[in-house]
Amino acid sequence: MLNVNKAIVIAIALILTLALGACGGYFDKGHGSDFDDGEPPPPSGGSDDGNEIVVGCVTSFTGTLSSFPEATKWADLLCLDVINEQRGGINIDGITKKIRVVYGDTESNPGTATAAAEKMVLENKPDILISSGTLINIGPVSAVGEHYGIPTYVSNGPAEPWFAGIEQGYWSMVALYYMEDQLTDIIGAFKQIDTNNKVGFVFDDEDDSAALSELFKPMLEREGFTVIDTGRFQTDKTDFSDIIKKLSEENCDIISVNMTGLQFAICLKQFHENDYIPKCFYIGKALRGQNDIAELGPGMGEGFLTEAVWDRSFPFDSALIGMNCDELALKWEDDMGTQYPATMGYDVALWEVLNDSLIRAGTTDPEALRAAILAVNIDTIFGCLSFDGNRVAKVPRVTAQWQSGEKWLYEKTIVSAITMTARIDKEIILHEDAPA
Q: What pTM was computed for the model?
A: 0.81
CA distance 44 to 366: 9
Find the angle CA(273)-CA(278)-CA(282) to the nearest 5 degrees: 110
Q: In sequence order, which ranges of 250-398 are alpha helices (DSSP H)?
A: 261-273, 290-294, 325-336, 344-361, 366-374
Q: Write down how long the chain is.
A: 436
Predicted pLDDT at 16 = 22
Residue 2 clears pLDDT 60, i.e. is over it: no
CA distance 375 to 114: 28
**The amino acid at 101:** V
CB 165 within 8 A of CB 134: no
Question: Residue 414: phi, psi to the nearest 5?
Answer: -70, 125
Residue 10 clears pLDDT 70, i.e. is over it: no
CB 151 within 8 A of CB 145: yes
What b-and-e string marks burial along 18-57, b requiring 16 or more CB atoms within 10 Å of the CB?
Answer: beeeebbbbbeeebbbeeeeeeeeebebbbeeeebbbbbb
Domains observed in the chain: 9-15+180-311+397-431 (3.40.50.2300), 25-178+313-394 (3.40.50.2300)
More confident residue, 223 or 291: 223
Contacts of 109 by beta carbon, 8 Å cutoff, 6+ apart: 63, 136
pLDDT digits (tens, 9 = 90+) for 38-65: 455 544 566 556 789 999 999 999 998 8
Strands (E), 133-195: 152-158, 172-177
- Decide: helix, strand or coil at residue 394: strand
Residue 350 clears pLDDT 70, i.e. is over it: yes
* Range with the poorest average pLDDT among 8-12, 160-164, 398-402: 8-12
pLDDT digits (tens, 9 = 90+) for 99-130: 999 999 999 999 999 999 999 999 999 999 99
